Amino acid sequence: MVNEVFHQLGTEPSVIRELFAYGLQRSAEVGSEHVYDYSLGNPSIPAPKAVNQAITDILQDTDSIRVHGYSMAAGFTETRQAIADDLNRRLGTSLHAGNLFLTCGAAPALISVIKALICDADSEIAVVAPFFPEYRPFVESNGGKLVVVPADVPSFQIRLEALEESLTPHTRALILNSPNNPSGVVYTRSTLEQVAALLQRKSSQYGHPIYIIADEPYRELVYDGVEVPFIPCIYPNTIVCYSYSKSLSLPGERIGYVLIPDWVEEGAGVYAAVAGAARSMGHVCPPTLMQLVIQRCASQMPDLAAYDENRKLLYGALTDMGYVCAKPDGAFYLFVKAPNGDAVAFSQKAKLEHDLLVVPGDGFGCPGYLRLSYCVAADMIRRSLPAFQAMMDAFG
Ligand code: PLP
């Protein structure tokens, strides 16, 4: 006998992974130049040179016991202080090492925070559509209820009335992800200020804090100088989950953090519960070599030129063909309306007839839309355009 919830999670198919696997199979059959795979959000720009240099230097200069040994569960104090110093320099904050708990990326950061905040079987975690599909198992496998705030179409900001209707006395937190996967939209300061005012009002009404969990792996992936407001400076009860997976192109290295500023209500208790939640999942410490790398590279920024070129190329070409798409200010995704409103049928036909792999938005809580990950070679985008045109001719 096995746990039913986990058995189902372990066997249910992932649309994204299936498309990706199909793409690999078709590449072997027809040649990769004939397959247009927009399925996975795997960074396509290399990690900054400074990261590779830091790895070389650390392996040469640092005592091997320190490089490969255990650290404290929260991570080296020096690494956490380096991250805090970088945030303080950029954001004018006064964060310190004690505000940070290092994790193996954003996913374990999120699940630790969610686990820490779910107090009973009635606990609800709200999320704004469209959203990263993994939030559902993160919440539901921990006994919580995921409450979806319907999407604000077509801008993909946040509809205040819809959010208000979704908040109840059981709401423990609201997950916000900006820049957003899958829409590429960045929540504006005005949107966030309105959300903050609403949450403040509801927290007072219900007599307990409703936290924002700011899921920010794409914080540094933003174009045309668009502002990504730092949510803890707008809404004090914000817990940040961050990752270097996308910003430093290190998804396989598994390094990120939870940030709980001093000004968060019951912050010490939340920090302790996050540490306990991580411990309950077998977190021992984040990869030590990567901690030492981040200590040296906390202020490194990605070179976004290649993503930006792809963004302009794909957004420009698709909108010229008549596709409707949210303005992609950040991350590396386009969220495109399926021309006839049926994203599943579009994705299936595109796959079978054109080897064009795009993900239907249903799993992101937004049926009728398609997610395209443009962290790919620009050449693939150019070669894929006739397929998009053929699909528009068939569906438009
Ligand atoms: N949150 C969002 C919105 C994501 O898109 C991802 C990964 O794609 C994650 C969290 C998980 O990131 P990590 O690889 O750091 O666990």
Residues 227 and 159 in one domain: yes
pLDDT in tens, 103-127: 999 999 999 999 999 999 999 999 9
* Helix (H) or strand (E) run with residue 173 in it: strand 171-177
**155 CA from centroid of ligand 1 (Å):** 22
pLDDT on residue 98: 98
pLDDT band, residue 92 (cuts 50/70/90): very high
Task: Confirm or reject: Cβ of 367 under 6 Å from ligand 1.
Answer: no
* pLDDT higher than 80, residue 223: yes
Q: What are the C-alpha distances in Å from 149 to residues 9, 156, 165, 173, 175?
A: 23, 11, 8, 13, 10
Return the CATH number at 307: 3.90.1150.10
Q: What is the mean pLDDT of the chain?
A: 97
Per DSSP, what are the bridge partners of residue 37? 357
Residues 391 and 274 in one domain: no
Q: Which atom of ligand 1 is nearest to the CA of 251?
A: 14
**204 CA from centroid of ligand 1 (Å):** 32
**331 CA from centroid of ligand 1 (Å):** 11
pLDDT on residue 327: 85
Per DSSP, what are the bridge partners of residue 330? 222
At position 160, the amino acid (one-letter code) is L
Residues 41 and 65 in one domain: no
pLDDT in tens, 114-172: 999 999 999 999 999 999 999 999 999 999 999 999 999 999 999 999 999 999 999 99
Task: Confirm or reject: Cβ of 243 under 6 Å from ligand 1.
Answer: yes
Closest by CA to 276, choosing from 261, 294, 258, 252, is 258
CA 195 to chain CA mean position, Å: 20
pLDDT in tens, 175-197: 999 999 999 999 999 999 999 99
Return the best residue to mutate from 175, 181, 241 for the ligand 1 pocket (most ligand atoms within 8 A of CB): 181
Residue 337, sorted as left (phi over 0), alpha (psi -120 to 50) or beta, turns out to be beta
Q: Which atom of ligand 1 is nearest to the CA of 105?
A: 15
**CA-closest residue to ligand 1 atom 2:** 132
Q: What are the C-alpha distances in Å from 348 to residues 18, 103, 131?
A: 12, 37, 22
Residues 290 and 195 in one domain: yes
Task: Confirm or reject: Cβ of 106 under 6 Å from ligand 1.
Answer: yes
Q: What are the C-alpha distances in Å from 377 to residues 31, 174, 322?
A: 15, 35, 23
* pLDDT higher than 90, residue 396: no
**355 CA from centroid of ligand 1 (Å):** 26
Residues 57 and 41 in one domain: no
pLDDT on residue 106: 98
Contact assessment for residue 126 and residue 174, using Cβ atoms and an 8 Å cutoff: yes
Q: What's the structural domain count of the chain?
A: 2
Alpha helices in the chain (DSSP H): 4-11, 15-30, 49-61, 64-68, 77-91, 106-117, 135-140, 160-166, 189-206, 267-280, 288-297, 305-321, 343-354, 378-395
Residues 219 and 356 in one domain: no
pLDDT in tens, 64-79: 889 999 999 999 999 9
pLDDT band, residue 242 (cuts 50/70/90): very high
The domain containing residue 328 runs over which residues?
4-47+303-395
Residues 362 and 288 in one domain: no
pLDDT in tens, 36-52: 999 998 999 999 999 99
Residues 70 and 194 in one domain: yes
| Beta carbons within 8 Å of 169's beta carbon, 6+ residues apart | 206
Average pLDDT over residues 192-216: 98
